[in-house]
Amino acid sequence: MKFEYVDCPVCGPSRTRIWLKEKSGARYVRCLDCDTVYASPRFPREVRHSNGDTVWDYTPELLARESLRLPALKQEADYIQRHSPGGRLLDVGCSSGDLFRFFAPSSWERYGVELSATAAEYASRTYDARVVPGTLRSAQFPDGYFDLVTMLDMLYLVDDPRAEMDEVKRILSPKGIVAIEIAGQAYMFLRSRGAVALLMERRWCRLTPDTHLYWFTPAGLQRLLENSGLRPFAWYVASSPVRPNPVSHWVASAYYRVYSSLAGRSLSMLNWAPRYLCLAGAPGAQP
């Protein structure tokens, strides 16, 4: 097996420390400059995607899983539309298209890209959206085409986040904004271990360098965006998906309530939030 070695997506070549070693030989390393944890070495793309893409295929199970996210998606759509009232929207990794429910066709022309062809087809059909199967970079949208690009819960999965952000900057209109939702790195790492992991239902955690390649801190995400000429101007704590187990749902909801009252105060606090939303645009373009 030939492994791929990659540099930190924020800093380029930098000093790292091994954070987790898998039996397969794949590893997570932590960049000592920006604290991004990323998979290197990792399986080459062909291997990672050999079964990965079908995980996202449109099936009744996928729809059921995603319906748990609807309250969080609605809340995030509300936050986003405070800053961006209408125009052309692109949802990257749109899956079955649930986010489109909250962007009215009277105000928004809706586009998506989705790795799974069956989910892309379902999203197009259900939400009258133009959804391209494939990746953001394979879709080749025109320069300055979109007023809003959303990337919810997916930045861990892209091959090259730096190139992805350059592409987002290229396709955004001068006043366009990008909305990125990711999990707090510290929160995810806490949740993946010991008693907390058991309480929070370990099967919800997908901490593996085989699929999830990057775990950013808020400060690291900010630097990633700035490297591509985008500047964050708003941060929000996002609510967690509804959990089937009432106890873990109660714990998650209580944690969310505490965090939404505290975490807006500093980027390092956001790192402990289950998920947060970062809005960014070209410097000077936002109020």
Give the CA distances from residue 201 to residues 73, 198, 213, in Å, rounded to whole numbers and listed in that order. 22, 5, 22
Cβ atoms within 10 Å of 91's Cβ, excluding its own: 27
State in angstroms the smallest separation of the CB of 275 from Zn ion: 22
Nearer to Zn ion, 112 or 220 (CB): 220
State in angstroms the smallest separation of the CB of 49 from Zn ion: 25
Among 27, 28, 30, 31, binds Zn ion (CB under 5 A): 31
Binding of Zn ion by 33 (CB under 5 A): yes
Nearer to Zn ion, 129 or 188 (CB): 188
Q: Is 24 helix (H, G, I), strand (E, B) or coil?
A: coil
Nearer to Zn ion, 9 or 133 (CB): 9
What b/e string do you get for 148-166 counting C-beta neighbours within 10 Å, with b at 16 or more?
A: bbbbbbbbbbbbebbebbe
State in angstroms the smallest separation of the CB of 36 from Zn ion: 5
Binding of Zn ion by 34 (CB under 5 A): yes
Nearer to Zn ion, 30 or 169 (CB): 30
Q: What is the C-alpha separation between 256 and 1, in angstroms, rounded?
A: 42
Helix/strand number for the chain, H first, E second: 11, 11
Q: What is the C-alpha separation between 278 and 287, in angstroms, rounded?
A: 15
Candidates 13-21, 54-62, 165-173, 194-202 — which segment interacts with Zn ion by CB under 5 A? 13-21
Binding of Zn ion by 10 (CB under 5 A): yes
Interface ranges with Zn ion (CB under 5 A)? 8, 10-11, 14, 31, 33-34, 36
